Structure 1
């Protein structure tokens, strides 16, 4: 299977799904830095990455900017519609997309793509719609584990690692 795009949810995948607030009421999120290795591998293989989340907060944009992720969709209500439109823009099909999500608003997209997964701590009723469950909890490196599994299953992991080591 040729994956031409990786789409990721944020809350519950890159984060533990918790909401933290500072004394001024600003929302904070804790990201696991190991997930950035997944981004590095995908970029080395020239596989585009898109963030798609129901949240519309600056911290997600800030994280994406730091990791140089160009495609960011915030405040998304219908992930399948946005993903379909984006795939049409790129000239690819949903069968060529890998997606990781963890909650009820991810189910339709989990069902529609060619490669789908949930983190270990996703609800069981969501897991049943994903093709795979990643044995790592959201916020604990689930995105990196997802990317590594995707690349290994498609015989691309060794190539990505070699590209990284030869930079």
Structure 2
């Protein structure tokens, strides 16, 4: 994992618990875990670019990404769009997919998980994701620190001689 130059994550079910919360006025709310946010910032401090690729397009995710200062935010990517977005980011950074770490939880992440050099999923990911060859299943669930757990695994391995 020493060659990782880009860390990407899904949102719903990974950075969040997958719940969709609605106010009486119809506002959509999501619960993010502060430890996951710190994990992304620690990766950046170590020189790894970080990004979010998600199927939905919401102002909430835009606000969270801005607060965290992520390097890349791509929303509204469905039906192979996540892998296409990842490939575009790799081209911009002049790196290969083998230099990418990705964490996601559901079937819309499978294509990018298969392509990424390093892959992980939350403990409560769907069975099809958990069954992917070479995937690391985190001990923590989506929205409960699984992104931080994967980030720390990467950072610990990068520090080893």
With the length of structure 2 as denominator, give the TM-score of the two structures. Answer: 0.93
* TM-align CA RMSD: 1.2
Give the structure 1 partner of residue 67 of structure 2: 66
Distance (whole Å) between structure 1 residues aligned to residue 73 and residue 146 of structure 2? 19
SS in 2 for 1:2: coil
Runs of 4+, deviation exceeding 3 Å: none
Give the structure 2 partner of residue 159 of structure 1: none
Q: Which structure 2 residues correspond to residues 1-167 of structure 1 after superposition, within 5 A? A: 1-77=2-78, 78-129=81-132, 131-155=135-159
Structure 1 unaligned residues grouped into runs of 5+: 157-167
Q: CA deviation at 1:155?
A: 2.8
Q: CA deviation at 1:154?
A: 3.0
Q: CA deviation at 1:132?
A: 0.6
Alignment length (residue pairs):
156
SS in 2 for 1:82: helix
SS in 2 for 1:99: strand
Q: CA deviation at 1:40?
A: 2.1
SS in 2 for 1:154: helix
